[in-house]
Structure 1
Amino acid sequence: MSFFFLKGETGKKLRLLVLLGFALVWLPMASYAQKFTLSGYVRDAKTGENLIGVAILNSITGQGTATNAYGFYSITVPKDSLKLVFSYVGYERSTMSVFLNKDMEQNVLLTPASTQLEAVEIVNTREEDVRETTRMSTINMSVAQIKSVPALFGEVDVLKVLQLLPGVQSGGEGTSGFYVRGGGPDQNLILLDGTPVYNASHLFGFFSVFNAEALNNVELVKGGFPARYGGRLSSVLDISMKEGNMNEVDGEGSIGLIASRLTVGGPIKKDVASFIFSGRRTYIDILARPFMNKEEGVAGYYFYDLNGKLNWKVSPKDRLYLSAYTGYDEFYNKMEDNGSGRQNSRAGLGWGNLTSAFRWNRIINQRLFLNTHLTYTKYQFDISSEEESTYQGDRYDYRLKYLSNIRDLSAKLDFDFIPNLNHYIRFGGQYVHHQFQPGALQVRSNSDGEADNLDVNTKKTNAQEVGVYIEDDVRLSERVKVNLGVRANGFGVNGEFYSSIEPRASVRFIATDKLSLKASYANMTQFIHLLTNSGIGLPTDLWVPSTEKIKPQRSNQVAIGATRTIADDKVEFSVEAYYKTMHNLIEYKEGASFIGISSNWDTKVTTGKGDAYGLEFFLHKKVGRTNGWIGYTLAWSNRQFAELNQGKEFPYRYDRRHDFEVVVIHQLKPNLSLSATWVYGTGNSITLPEARYVVGEAFPDGYTGTQTYSDYGSRNGYRMAAYHRADISLSHTKKKSWGEVVNNISFYNAYNRKNPYYIYLQSGYDGEPGKFKQISLFPILPSVSKTFKF
């Protein structure tokens, strides 16, 4: 790593930290004497897929562990008898008894639950007791549960379900991204098979880029971040794709009102190699085309997603994975006019992601697991406009193109070291090469043979980011367990180098058999920024690096909480309080945006700070015919910039005092389920004019007229009306000889609430004062879809 060659006090501290970390890793190896290890993989008996986070309990001693992100487990104990229980939501429990007097390898197959009622369990895919784990502010979600929640136009959506959890907010209809504990959308690290996804939304945030049918596991971390995660301030959304059925070809697809999708997987060589492929496309543009007036041109919008993954068991100790994703949104407009002259015009707006990942898993020994990860990711948006016209023999051509992108190339090593059941040590390092192009503008015009060209390109900026980490989940006693970790980072750009050392800690104390108390602290650094335009957002936000003028974002977050199980452990209740400070946040200066081309982006922004704090309550039932949860968040989020709002503190645009969610899924019959959600949230903060002035003006040509000026109040000093709505969904499953068909009917915004989308000031007439008008987006929207599995 390049920071080993750094001079001065920073380089000395980083080198000392790394050496100390590796010393801590190898010290526990001294305790191996007279101990033996049982290790292996836990897999789905039907498909052969590795299962992530399976809880493994030694019922004799009460100690346990869990499989890692690749289904691997390791148990090291003195020579003794073990009685292990393997449990995972949606699967039958499995037990194994063994007398461990030598190192052994044993793979375990879990059988999917035999009835639908057993499979419909909410939120946690892990049966690890929430009182037992040190991690807090973390939620795992099953794909089956995600599919059960009512969806807009019947399109199952991961991000929409996340927004139903406490501490997680949507920006509102028409706004992309999700907001966690007062942070912005750029402060969420979104990983697909370990590869960052920079824009996770289609159609301005109405849909996410993730096809649920291709996903295996979804985990959201809101706080108490383990040291293995870095680079963002607010959250980590870690999504794993399915690996493909090792035993037989299977698939799943859906036909809806606006989109269809298909997922197919199967063995390339049985129990050796497999594949999975998933695709989705909307057809709004195709359905609308017959109703358009061709004389007025053709306009449309569509998006698509394509996922693919291959995996190969090279040997009992080695496994290779190759995965890729690409998706794109495009608006287009084409016009032709063959009247008195000839005129053709084309305009478009597009944006999309491309990710790819190569992973090599190796069991170095029964206690040490290695994952090597090479990734490439790219996000780009572009705007184009072309016009060709001929009139009375004169020709005019005009072309404009604007694009912005970010590209990453990354290499990462992660080690899982499990010396015994009292320690679970993770350590590793990562190198990332970033390339930023915040904006490139090309204008070409040609009128009657005379060319007029303009090129304004912000320079491509290359940056290097490195990071190393070590963490240990250590059991100090039967009641006390802690996770201690530290992460060291470096970021170099244009001769400037920033470094950070980030301590992390979480602690769990079991107070009673049903109650545990938890606390966490996390220090985070983010070296990249997102320049976001205010107002109705197009996906024209720009990713930019820290520079000599713009410092890295930094945060500190502390959280305390309690978790209790009730109703014979069928219901979990948790409460958490958090406080977070953020520094070196950026915003556009007043009146600035990405459109201006007269100067570099870092001259258009101002830096400031923010804080966020609140309480989160979560009541969650995950077994029985009726499942669901109730979440409530009481929160505050503020910002302060020296050059905005006269330097005074103001509410963040998505500061939301109250956020309330109810989700209920009820199994009416084994083949019939009803689900409903209700959400309520305080209205978003907005800035509105408080007065208007009409001023007479004289122009140089002698013409006199008037100009209207608006006097705006304090930044985000007003609030829209509260947002609330209910969604309902009914699903019926019919068995077929080749599989099953699920018919679904759903209603979005079931009671037709006119929620605020945008507010504008309408001018008055004949001297009357203007009035504020509210624009609402979605009325009640029914939809139907048909899903099939084979």
Structure 2
Amino acid sequence: MYIRFFQILTCGFCFLLCCFSLSAQNKTQKFTISGFVKEKGSRELLPGVSVFITGKKIGTQTNNYGFYSITLISNPEEITISFSSIGYQPSFKKVVLNKEIEMNVELLPDNTVLEEIVVKADAPELKKVSETAQMGVLSVPVSQIKEVPSLLGEKDVLKVLQLMPGIQKGSEGNSGLYVRGGGPDQNLLILDDAPVYNAYHLFGFFSVFNGDALKSVELTKGGFPARYGGRLSSVIEMQMKEGHKEQFHAEGGIGLISSRLVAEGPISKNHKSSFLISGRRTYIDALAGPFLPSDQKGSTYYFYDLNAKINYDFGRNNRLYLSGYFGKDKFAAKTSSETQGQNLTSQSDLGLDWGNATGTFRWNHLFNDQLFSNISVIYSNYEFNTFANRESVNSGVVTKYNLSYKTGIRDYGIKIDFDLLPDPQHTIKMGGMATQHRFTPSAIILQDTDINQYKEQVDPIDAFEMGGYFEDTYQPVSNVRINGGFRLSYFVTQSKYLFFNPEPRLSVAWTLRNNWAVKGSYADMNQYIHLLSNSGVGLPTDLWVPTTKTIKPQRSRQLSLGFAKDFTKKNFALTFDAYYKQMDKILALKEGSSFLLLDGPDGLANEKVRGKSWEDNVTAGQGWAYGGEFLLQKKQGRLTGWIGYTLSWIEQQFDELNFGKKFYAKYDRRHDFSAVGIYHLSPKITLSGTWVYGTGNAITLPNATYIARQDFAGENPLSQYGIYTESYGSSRRISDYGERNTYRAAAYHRMDVAIQLHKKMKKHERIWEFSIYNLYNRKNPFFYDFNSKYNPETKLTQKTLTQYSLFSIIPSVSYSFKF
């Protein structure tokens, strides 16, 4: 069935290509200007560069591979074309359009920060938010990411995105993203076309993306183009650098907990190929090792990242890329003991590790001046493993206990994309993807020589996902832009159960006078894979599972309305979006349920849950997210940064939770405010600061606690009413929680500051950074618990609610270098 679907999709694309080719041949009075835009020096291809005909509202921008194309009616008069992008000096080319023109352009990086305002004023055609059809697209220059203050000096892409409106952070210090009411599993993170399923180190405190290896970062949270699918809330697309094609360069840094190094350069002397390799590793294990007790030697925790990329340029029409990412976290605790006077010794080794591996092979092909294609072959693998090993020797008798529990998801995929630019009024994108998923919800190996038991159980689940899309950014008149598209998504389960869903998309922008624009968008999305979580934080212990005959795909429908304004003289861009999103078939664990099969004392499921699958422990429901987002952003000049504010509501409803009533989601925050400022005081000194404020998380606390003098036989009959019990001697302590999330944690706010000291030597540059996280030492809530204190006079036990915080004021220092 899916082979036939793919054949029909391919035939449709070929038919459309033939139609457009014939159409282009008939228009003999038009000529095309096309080429690639690169960075001068490194020859790195630049995405998102604005290409405009000066004096006219006709233009386009380069795609992810630096290619652009503009087709115009022949003109005997000379025209001027401008090429501009943030962080680069604009370039102006004059041509007479009387033939097909190939124009490759190199932009010079703009390192003279004191003159950036002058450069910007000379380039009014720089890409404006008021002239794009898309809504909810956030772009942060990588150079800004490196200048924002960070925890322990670790520059984190995802933490910077948390500072944008509409994007909620999880808990204190966590890198998890909650976009417009969605959970961590509803964000599609793409690194060079490969999906990354767990993007967190150190249990969520840092992300796996090394900013030194990235070329561009873009997040879409609404008005999704048809080329994106598979998630409900956001798409975060990241492109790795390609590597310098002319000279060898390196940069790196040393921080309090990790060090990093990036090396890049040409492979051949003809400047046709280049490489990039980037590595990062913590040394927490090396620092903590000497302080461990003698009976815990060998205990460790560390994480590492490795990015690599090579490319080869075969000329104008063909380019090849091979890139990959590899990363892992490893935690292990080792103990040993020896009983004096007895022949008894024991050693134990337990821990967990998790990591990602991705690989992408890409082929760019230019059919002609108007048609560009990219084919990607993709591999992605995420694995989580927990283990416990124990060996004891008693009077010469050796007893061994070994347990290994694994879970993960592995993908093999292929993706085909076409960019067709027949004329300035149309920018057409179309393509398709196919992915073979293998889910491993549970892989257990148990060996216990004491009871002579050995068990190995692996339950992989295979599924197949496909999608095809067509979209067109159409400009019928000079002040109206429409991005309309249609996507067909397809998913087949291991039991051959089929899901087939249409996903229409539409975004419209109407440009008014003085760079004002009114925008609207609608997007229908489906998600066929799910993340089961006890914490809701996106920790490595969470479990990826597919849609099944019982568990239906998640779906969202999102409507957005808003306006945008460009202040060209001040280099500001202002946007306001109001949105409403409804989500269906979202999953949650039932009360008291766990998806892990490690409940019993033998490491396997106990009798109560043995024989049940993860499907028995989840319930499906609905979600609603709505609100408004304000963003004032400045990306260029001596002073850059942004101010963002979000007013939002997030509600959920499950028939089997909270008595079937609606409740606010844990990360519902009524108000969320952030301010980010980066000021280049001089070429040698950069000052930066952030301040964030957010309404406290919604939490559930017991309304009352009392002692019941009667033990319940069997399963507690009060659990269906939200009342849970804890054994208390011959009686039971009962907590009445009432409805879910009716209380609020204390408000979250924090200020971070940093200063960077730059010094350029003859052959290299060094940067010292001094930063302070949580400048005024705010005690933000991490979690709450009840503490009991017995009063001997009244013979009563008093309980008080206690807030626990994670981070106080944290100063840090780091050293970076480039050569």
How does the TM-score come out when normalised to structure 2?
A: 0.92
What is the match of residue 777 of structure 1?
A: 806
- Whole-angstrom CA distance in 2 between matches of 1:537 and 1:187: 11
What is the match of residue 467 of structure 1?
A: 467
What is the match of residue 573 of structure 1?
A: 574
- The code of the aligned residue for 2:264 comes to G
Deviation at 1:204, TM superposition (A): 2.0
Deviation at 1:708, TM superposition (A): 1.7
What is the match of residue 649 of structure 2?
A: 636
1:345 and 1:388 in contact (8 A); partners too:
yes
Which aligned pairs between 1:381-420 and structure 2 lie closer than 5 A? 381-420=384-423
Q: Does 1:235 align with 2:234?
A: yes
- Whole-angstrom CA distance in 2 between matches of 1:82 and 1:238: 35
SS in 1 for 2:158: helix
Q: Does 1:706 align with 2:731?
A: yes
SS in 2 for 1:290: helix
2:86 and 2:635 in contact (8 A); partners too:
no
Which aligned pairs between 1:690-769 and structure 2 lie closer than 5 A? 690-696=703-709, 705-765=730-790, 766-769=795-798
Which aligned pairs between 1:8-23 and structure 2 lie closer than 5 A? none
What is the match of residue 255 of structure 2?
A: 256
SS in 1 for 2:131: coil
What is the match of residue 632 of structure 2?
A: 619
Distance 1:625 1:695, change over 3 A: same
What is the match of residue 185 of structure 1?
A: 184
1:254 and 1:260 in contact (8 A); partners too:
yes
- The code of the aligned residue for 2:769 comes to N
1:54 and 1:66 in contact (8 A); partners too:
yes
SS in 2 for 1:131: helix
What is the match of residue 697 of structure 2?
A: 684
Deviation at 1:621, TM superposition (A): 2.4
5+ residue gaps in structure 2?
598-604, 714-727
Deviation at 1:285, TM superposition (A): 1.0
From 81, 93, 96, the counterpart of 1:96: 93
- The code of the aligned residue for 2:364 comes to N
Deviation at 1:456, TM superposition (A): 4.3
- Whole-angstrom CA distance in 2 between matches of 1:699 and 1:207: 45
- The code of the aligned residue for 1:511 comes to L
What is the match of residue 36 of structure 1?
A: 31
SS in 2 for 1:4: helix
Deviation at 1:89, TM superposition (A): 1.0
Which aligned pairs between 1:363-442 and structure 2 lie closer than 5 A? 363-442=366-445
SS in 1 for 2:4: helix
1:577 and 1:613 in contact (8 A); partners too:
yes
SS in 2 for 1:568: coil
- The code of the aligned residue for 2:453 comes to D
SS in 2 for 1:689: coil
SS in 2 for 1:98: strand
- Whole-angstrom CA distance in 1 between matches of 2:442 and 2:115: 52
- Whole-angstrom CA distance in 2 between matches of 1:162 and 1:348: 31
- The code of the aligned residue for 2:96 comes to F
- Whole-angstrom CA distance in 2 between matches of 1:497 and 1:536: 31
- Whole-angstrom CA distance in 2 between matches of 1:435 and 1:119: 50
Which aligned pairs between 1:180-579 and structure 2 lie closer than 5 A? 180-270=179-269, 271-340=271-340, 341-447=344-450, 450-457=451-458, 459-493=459-493, 494-534=495-535, 538-566=539-567, 568-579=569-580
What is the match of residue 607 of structure 1?
A: 620
SS in 1 for 2:449: strand
- The code of the aligned residue for 2:528 comes to F
- Whole-angstrom CA distance in 2 between matches of 1:97 and 1:388: 78
SS in 1 for 2:709: strand
- The code of the aligned residue for 1:290 comes to P
1:91 and 1:119 in contact (8 A); partners too:
no
- Whole-angstrom CA distance in 2 between matches of 1:300 and 1:706: 42
Distance 1:43 1:784, change over 3 A: same
Deviation at 1:349, TM superposition (A): 1.1
What is the match of residue 45 of structure 1?
A: 40
Deviation at 1:511, TM superposition (A): 1.4
Q: Deviations over 1:1-60 (max 9, x none)?
A: 826369xxxx99x89987996687567536532211111100001101000110011014
SS in 2 for 1:476: strand
SS in 1 for 2:481: strand
Distance 1:531 1:27, change over 3 A: farther
From 656, 659, 665, the counterpart of 2:672: 659
1:54 and 1:86 in contact (8 A); partners too:
yes
1:89 and 1:119 in contact (8 A); partners too:
no
What is the match of residue 126 of structure 2?
A: 127
Which aligned pairs between 1:75-90 and structure 2 lie closer than 5 A? 75-80=70-75, 81-90=78-87
Distance 1:268 1:18, change over 3 A: closer
- Whole-angstrom CA distance in 2 between matches of 1:223 and 1:72: 25
2:321 and 2:363 in contact (8 A); partners too:
yes
The two structures, once aligned, show a CA RMSD in angstroms of: 2.3
- The code of the aligned residue for 1:356 comes to G
Deviation at 1:749, TM superposition (A): 0.6
Distance 1:28 1:719, change over 3 A: farther
- Whole-angstrom CA distance in 1 between matches of 2:584 and 2:536: 24
- Whole-angstrom CA distance in 1 between matches of 2:193 and 2:729: 63
- Whole-angstrom CA distance in 2 between matches of 1:782 and 1:60: 51
Distance 1:691 1:28, change over 3 A: farther
Deviation at 1:135, TM superposition (A): 1.1
Distance 1:296 1:696, change over 3 A: farther
Deviation at 1:184, TM superposition (A): 0.8
Deviation at 1:719, TM superposition (A): 1.2
Deviation at 1:296, TM superposition (A): 3.9
Q: Deviations over 1:538-576 (max 9, x none)?
A: 421111110000000111101011111237242221111
Q: Deviations over 1:576-632 (max 9, x none)?
A: 100000001011111111224421111111000101001001112233322221100
Number of residue pairs aligned between Structure 1 and Structure 2: 777
2:49 and 2:61 in contact (8 A); partners too:
yes
- Whole-angstrom CA distance in 1 between matches of 2:41 and 2:762: 18
- The code of the aligned residue for 2:184 comes to P
Deviation at 1:227, TM superposition (A): 0.5
Deviation at 1:446, TM superposition (A): 1.1
Q: Deviations over 1:337-361 (max 9, x none)?
A: 2343211110111111000000000
Distance 1:315 1:578, change over 3 A: same
1:355 and 1:377 in contact (8 A); partners too:
yes
- Whole-angstrom CA distance in 2 between matches of 1:537 and 1:507: 34
1:434 and 1:463 in contact (8 A); partners too:
yes
1:175 and 1:537 in contact (8 A); partners too:
no
- Whole-angstrom CA distance in 2 between matches of 1:638 and 1:68: 38
What is the match of residue 65 of structure 1?
A: 60
- Whole-angstrom CA distance in 1 between matches of 2:333 and 2:487: 49
What is the match of residue 153 of structure 2?
A: 154
- Whole-angstrom CA distance in 1 between matches of 2:138 and 2:536: 32
